[in-house]
Amino acid sequence: MTRWLRPPRRVALLSVHTSPLEQPGTGDAGGMNVYIAQTATRMAERGVEVEVFTRATSSELPPVAELAPGVLVRHVPAGPYEVLDRSELPAQLCAFTAAVLRTEANNEPGFYDLVHSHYWLSGQVGWLARDRWGVPLVHTAHTLARVKNAALAEGDTPEPRVREIGEQQVVDQADSLVANTEMEANDLICQYDADPAKVSTVSPGVDLRQFTPGSQLEARAALGIALDATVFAFVGRIQPLKAPDVLLHAAAELLAQGRVDRSKLVVLVVGGPSGTGLEQPRALQDLAVQLGIQDVVRFLPPLPGPALAKVYRAADVVAVPSHNESFGLVAIEAQACGTPVVATDVGGLRVAVNDGVSGLLVSGHSSVDWANALARSAELRGKLSVGALNHARAFSWDHTTDELIGAYMRAAVTFREVQERAEVAS
């Protein structure tokens, strides 16, 4: 039984479908990867050992890799050594769970103090590990099927019923649920009937050492962009949910209205196809051609942090036109570099962007409305840049990690009380 009233010694962190070692921006790698890597690293700095379990997608991956001192990533064989679509992963949960339990069984009893699962697939594994090991289960959903399905992009595929059922099971079984925002906490309570006493709100952070203000001149020179250019940027996975097409339509609208000099306009799209975007991996390039703006749009592959910071610094405005976001790490990263953000007025983006202060929020995806917001943000860049920096500084991964450890400790207390009541009743 868990008996500690202090930070845990060792945490088993479950991330079935994507590894924190993967480059965010393509496939299934995104904000969750950043969240796991950043919080795990900082937990280790606080003396909490972390072991991350993720599915092995290649036979060339080592069984165990070090992400940072005190953080190990275990590549678990479960299914073929290849990237599988998330719809195929439920069939591999049995194999994945067996490998996780086997790892713990090879160590002394009580090796892990707590299980923290990320995304519903991991929650299914964590549920069984919790019962087998007698430790608390903390779960972070990151996204919720019912919320996503209520805000689908046109032509996008709804999340399947099996996911809704699986999420509900994890919500019912977890000892603690960590939400990114108060809105997500409310979704858990109202749409999944979560016990409010089990729900904690812990905002994600930003690496304030990596994403910092810098010279726009140097950033643009590194990217081969003229200093006097008007630069709009999108960063993220290329899929309908993230709606990068909205930026292209807005850019075409600005050109059609004559509100921007074509010779000076640059639209940067940084990322790779993901999710249903894999069905038509060149759809965005084709759209640029259809809109007649292929000459002003530049496509870049997913970039690591230092190169990504240069993109943010080079841009006048960063667009985050998602149909839904549980938070929106790109928005905070851009603002930490002093770049205003125009984002959709949905979900966690209402927290990530301080409307009218660090950027602008847009209701819906009208190309006219987005064109107006982009133009206005570019005009107000000086003022909004100051607000963006101040807003971003309220978020940090150190704060997120401290709050997570606090949630772990509360979960341990609750778990112990439940176990003791059960023992008395029996």
408 with 328, same domain? Answer: no
Task: Tell me, yes or no, whether 35 and 15 share the same domain.
Answer: yes
The model's pLDDT over 189-211, given as tens digits with 9 standing for 90+, comes to 999 999 999 999 999 999 999 99
- Does the annotation place 345 within a ligand binding site? no
Question: 23 among the known binding-site residues?
Answer: yes
- Tell me, yes or no, whether 225 lies in a domain: yes
To the question of whether residue 393 is assigned a binding role by annotation, the answer is: no
The answer to whether residue 3 is domain-embedded is no
Q: Is 6 annotated as a binding residue?
A: no
Q: What is the pLDDT along the chain (426 residues), one digit of tens a residue?
A: 445 568 899 999 999 999 999 988 777 778 899 999 999 999 999 999 999 999 999 999 999 999 999 999 999 999 999 989 888 999 999 999 999 999 999 999 899 999 999 999 999 999 999 999 999 999 999 999 999 999 888 878 899 999 999 999 999 999 999 999 999 999 999 999 999 999 999 999 999 999 999 999 999 999 999 999 999 999 999 989 999 999 999 999 999 999 999 999 999 999 988 766 667 789 999 999 999 999 999 999 999 999 999 999 999 999 999 999 989 999 999 999 999 999 999 999 999 999 999 999 999 999 999 999 999 999 999 999 999 999 999 999 999 999 999 999 999 998 988 887 877 777
Flag whether 112 is marked binding.
no
> Are 61 and 197 found together in one domain?
yes
Residues 281, 25: Cα–Cα separation, whole Å: 14
| Same domain assignment for residues 389 and 407 | no
Do 68 and 192 fall into the same domain?
Answer: yes
User: How buried is 205 (Cβ within 10 angstroms: 0-12 exposed, 13-18 middle, 19+ buried)?
Assistant: buried
Residue numbers of the domain that contains 189:
10-205+397-425
Claim to verify: residue 235 and residue 290 sit in the same structural domain = yes
Same-domain pairing of 162 and 96: yes
For residue 279, being part of any structural domain is answered with yes
Assess whether 379 and 417 both reside in one domain. Answer: no
24 a known binding residue? Answer: yes
Hey, what amino acid is at 55?
A: R
User: Is 130 marked as a binding-site residue?
Assistant: no
On whether 312 is known to bind a ligand per the annotation, the reply is: yes
187 is in an annotated binding site: no
- Is 29 labelled a binding residue? yes
Number of domains in the chain: 2
**Residue 406 annotated as part of some ligand binding site:** no
Q: Could you tell me if residue 4 is inside a domain?
A: no
Residue 408 among known ligand-binding residues: no
Is residue 316 assigned to a domain? yes
Is 210 inside any structural domain? no
Looking at the fold, whether 114 and 129 belong to one and the same domain comes out as yes
313 annotated among ligand-binding-site residues = yes
33 is in an annotated binding site: yes
CATH number at residue 294: 3.40.50.2000
Sign of CA dihedral 390, 243, 25, 292: negative
Annotated ligand binding at 85? The verdict is no
Asked whether residue 327 is domain-assigned, the answer is yes
Residues 245 and 201 in one domain: no
Residues 52 and 201 occupy one common structural domain: yes
Q: Is residue 1 part of a domain?
A: no
Residue 209 annotated as part of some ligand binding site: no
| pLDDT one-digit tens code per residue, 377-417 | 999 999 999 999 999 999 999 999 999 999 999 999 989 88
143 is in an annotated binding site: yes
Residue 218 among known ligand-binding residues: no
242 is in an annotated binding site: yes
The reply to whether 421 and 327 lie within a common domain is no
Q: Is 237 annotated as a binding residue?
A: yes
- Reported pTM: 0.92
| 354 assigned to a ligand binding site | no
